[in-house]
Chain A
Amino acid sequence: MTATRRNLEGNEACALGAIRAGCRFFAGYPITPSSEVAEVMARELPKVGGTFIQMEDEIASMGAVIGASMGGVKAMTATSGPGFSLKQENLGYACGSEIPCVVVNVMRGGPSTGMPTRPAQGDIMQTRWGTHGDHAIIVLAPASVSEAYSETIRAVELSETLRVPVVVLLDEVIGHLTETVDLAAVPEAPEVWRKFAQGPADAFEPYAVTEDLVPPMAYPGDGYRAHCTGLTHAPGGFPTQVPAVAAAAVQRTTDKLTLHRDRIESWRVQDVDDADLLICAIGISARAARQAVRDLRAEGVKVGLFRPVTLWPFPEDALRALVAKSGTQTVLVPEMNQGQLALEVERVLAGQARVQGLFKIDGQAITPDEIAEAAKEALA
């Protein structure tokens, strides 16, 4: 094996990807099945001049990450299930105040303490709507260890350049899966940073409406002396309750992601062009679906796979175009929950095709055979 090819766990790959992308601050709290992310960060960050801290709770680790990012340092945390629920308060602050940060969430069985060591995909909706109020957020869902590495790098880059929190959503299987990763497969590139404030300080507005809808960010110490608040704020950064200004402030954070959708959205397809049935899945369920597609194709059954890598915002135009092109009548959605992704697929297709769910909530990953069987039934 060359030096760039390494056997890594998904959780480990997230940590190394973040460091590669310039993340130099990690605050965390122990929780199964994500603790390895913190452990690798504790070991690796000091070597590159970064800072690791284990905080007193999940809420505090999210707060510390936002604080570090406000200070101009790329920052990340990692958690799972109950910890992700606790982070929602401060995650909402990062959404509203547009503070770049990355949250790795390794899904486990729920609700509550649930099945800590068992896989699940029950946080699909929580990643999108977990914090209160209207907000914009990006969620990336890797389905391999290599992708955990490359998508965490992308998470840091999207978070920085768009000033938005990005969740890297793994399930327990991907988090603990060991695969060979070619670190060099992600090409060397200049480090990506947020836009920092430039020009005269008295004219600076921390939430200015720019053409790209991404306001430049002050670096404390550079003389801008900006104010940042979780209250709905005007472009100047101070609280407002002027109806039009307040509405525009919330609307811009959503419009920002819509404007940059082409950069954000990512998906993979397999055997879709002539598919009579399309499977839509993420994470380990998508890995099983990939095998199911191979097996079914070998039997002459025309099925294909659509795998959103960007889960939110959901790549909806891509899915609609695919279904229209292939003329598929049925979309099968296998997922380890009671039907969260299926809800979004139904919304997107709005009757364009029938949506059939394959839901599993027993703490076991969905197998290729189960998917193949469900596909045959749906086609029968």
Chain B
Amino acid sequence: MKDTADKTAFDVNHWLRQDQMPHFLCPGCGHGIALRALVWALHDLGIDKDKLAVVSGIGCSGRLSAYIDANTFHTTHGRPLTYATGLKLARPDLHVVVISGDGDALAIGGNHLIHACRRNLDITCLMLNNEIYGMTGGQVSPTTSEGRYTSTTPAGNTEPNFDACALATAAGAGFVGREVTMQVLALRDLIRQAVAHQGFSFVEVLSDCTEIYGRKNDLGASPEMMLAKKSAMRPFAYRNTVDVPFRANHLKTGVIARNERPEYGAAYRAMTAALRDGGAE
């Protein structure tokens, strides 16, 4: 896809299903900002919403697909990448965006995520990381920070957490990035680059669960949580590329990795076309 900015005015209502409003997100939840950044980026790219398919899993993030005025599929827990894989292979003409969460993409769907990264089909996966299972009442997730309180870590989390971007990079994703919700323009730009990328792209959005995670850990209201996250992050461009230890990698934002290699769908179709034309048998 040609990465050219659409110069017409962005109207968020053009992209959202008005009859599904008001949305169900809690006050202060970061997911709404991610949703806005996503459709803003799609607008920037001039994408036709008739040709847009949004596939989501289960959890708070999973409910976002219903709000987007496109071809939307709210699938099963952890499996949206599998549905998206079938959809994109069957219909390469569609833009396929997956909205997932930290539990959805890294716990129950972790296997699908690493294989989607490896396969490099042209899908964009937005993982909204709020460090908790919000929908089910606030249980520990694979990204919950050590020491944090959740309903299943009543004495504080003792498990180490995932660096999702490092995982996606190691598994071969073509484009990997991370951004906080407070930097909405940077997030919009990051998603725009991800969707424009030919191949599998993974964007981790550091979102905030104010109502459960914030309350349980006394992190303040939404502005405090967003600001704390923004302050903790180091934009990728300014990092010390040599000395940053692995454990600090999860503090980087921006484009984390690019891995230009053949897009799987195009490669498969080239192979099958050669079989049909060349009569390989």
User: How distant is A224 from chain B, measured CB to nearest CB, in Å?
Assistant: 8
Question: Which residue of B51, B66, B271 is within 8 Å of A221 (Cβ)?
Answer: B51
Tell whether B13 is near chain A: CB-to-CB under 8 Å: no
B contact residues around A46 at 8 Å (CB): 271-272, 275-276
B contacts with A: majority SS: helix
A229 to B62, CA, bound (A): 10
A contact residues around B91 at 8 Å (CB): 71-73, 220-221
User: How distant is A191 from chain B, measured CB to nearest CB, in Å?
Assistant: 16
CB within 8 Å of B: which A64-107 residues: 64-73, 75, 89-90, 93
Q: Tell me if B79 and A51 are in contact (CB < 8 A).
A: no
Closest to B53 in A: A220
A66-B74 contact given A46-B271, A222-B50, CB 8 Å threshold: no
A225-B89 contact given A55-B82, A90-B76, CB 8 Å threshold: no
Tell whether B161 is near chain A: CB-to-CB under 8 Å: no
B contact residues around A226 at 8 Å (CB): 71-72
Q: Tell me if B271 and A70 are in contact (CB < 8 A).
A: no
User: How distant is B247 from chain A, measured CB to nearest CB, in Å?
Assistant: 28
A contact residues around B53 at 8 Å (CB): 71, 220
B contact residues around A61 at 8 Å (CB): 82
A contact residues around B71 at 8 Å (CB): 218, 220-221, 224-226
Q: Tell me if B75 and A230 are in contact (CB < 8 A).
A: yes
Question: Which residue of A67, A71, A220, A229 is within 8 Å of B74 (Cβ)?
Answer: A229
Scoring A56, A67, A89 by chain B CB atoms within 10 A of each residue's CB, the highest score goes to A67
B contact residues around A62 at 8 Å (CB): 82
Tell whether A238 is near chain B: CB-to-CB under 8 Å: yes
User: How distant is A71 from chain B, measured CB to nearest CB, in Å?
Assistant: 4
Closest to A45 in B: B272
A220 to B276, CA, bound (A): 27
User: How distant is B117 from chain A, measured CB to nearest CB, in Å?
Assistant: 11
Q: Tell me if B74 and A47 are in contact (CB < 8 A).
A: no
User: How distant is A291 from chain B, measured CB to nearest CB, in Å?
Assistant: 39
Tell whether B36 is near chain A: CB-to-CB under 8 Å: no
User: How distant is A324 from chain B, measured CB to nearest CB, in Å?
Assistant: 45
Scoring A49, A71, A222 by chain B CB atoms within 10 A of each residue's CB, the highest score goes to A71
Closest to A61 in B: B82
CB within 8 Å of B: which A195-231 residues: 218, 220-231
Q: Tell me if A67 and B87 are in contact (CB < 8 A).
A: yes
CB within 8 Å of A: which B56-90 residues: 65-66, 69-76, 79, 82-90
A contact residues around B86 at 8 Å (CB): 25, 27, 53, 63-71, 75
Closest to B67 in A: A227
Closest to A77 in B: B86
Contact digits for A34-61, partner B, Cβ 8 Å, 1 yes 0 no: 0000000000001101010101110111
Tell whether B49 is near chain A: CB-to-CB under 8 Å: yes
A contact residues around B55 at 8 Å (CB): 67
A68-B87 contact given A59-B79, A227-B72, CB 8 Å threshold: yes
B contact residues around A66 at 8 Å (CB): 75, 83, 86
Q: Tell me if B89 and A51 are in contact (CB < 8 A).
A: yes
Q: Tell me if B90 and A225 are in contact (CB < 8 A).
A: no
Closest to B265 in A: A51
A69 to B76, CA, bound (A): 16
A93-B76 contact given A49-B276, A64-B82, CB 8 Å threshold: yes
User: How distant is B82 from chain A, measured CB to nearest CB, in Å?
Assistant: 3
Q: Tell me if A55 and B85 are in contact (CB < 8 A).
A: yes
A222 to B49, CA, bound (A): 11
Q: Tell me if B272 and A73 are in contact (CB < 8 A).
A: no
User: How distant is B118 from chain A, measured CB to nearest CB, in Å?
Assistant: 9
Tell whether B148 is near chain A: CB-to-CB under 8 Å: no
Tell whether B115 is near chain A: CB-to-CB under 8 Å: yes
Q: Tell me if B85 and A220 are in contact (CB < 8 A).
A: no
Tell whether B93 is near chain A: CB-to-CB under 8 Å: yes
Tell whether B10 is near chain A: CB-to-CB under 8 Å: no
A56 to B109, CA, bound (A): 11
Tell whether B229 is near chain A: CB-to-CB under 8 Å: no
Q: Tell me if A68 and B89 are in contact (CB < 8 A).
A: yes
Q: Tell me if B73 and A63 are in contact (CB < 8 A).
A: no
Q: Tell me if B89 and A220 are in contact (CB < 8 A).
A: no
Contact digits for A329-343, partner B, Cβ 8 Å, 1 yes 0 no: 000000000000000
Tell whether B195 is near chain A: CB-to-CB under 8 Å: no
A contact residues around B89 at 8 Å (CB): 25, 51, 53, 64, 68
B contact residues around A90 at 8 Å (CB): 76, 79, 82
B contact residues around A59 at 8 Å (CB): 79, 82
Tell whether B168 is near chain A: CB-to-CB under 8 Å: no
A317 to B83, CA, bound (A): 38
Q: Which chain A residues have a beta carbon within 8 Å of chain B's beta carbons?
A: 24-25, 27, 46-47, 49, 51, 53, 55-57, 59-73, 75, 89-90, 93, 218, 220-231, 238-239
A to B CB contacts below 8 Å, 30 in the list: A25-B90, A46-B276, A53-B86, A55-B115, A60-B79, A60-B82, A60-B111, A61-B82, A63-B76, A63-B83, A63-B85, A63-B86, A64-B86, A67-B73, A67-B82, A67-B85, A67-B86, A67-B90, A68-B87, A70-B73, A71-B53, A71-B94, A220-B53, A220-B71, A220-B91, A222-B50, A224-B71, A225-B72, A228-B72, A229-B66
What would 13 more interface pairs be, CB under 8 Å, given A70-B83, A227-B74?
A27-B85, A46-B276, A51-B89, A53-B268, A63-B85, A64-B86, A68-B90, A71-B90, A93-B76, A220-B53, A220-B91, A220-B94, A227-B73
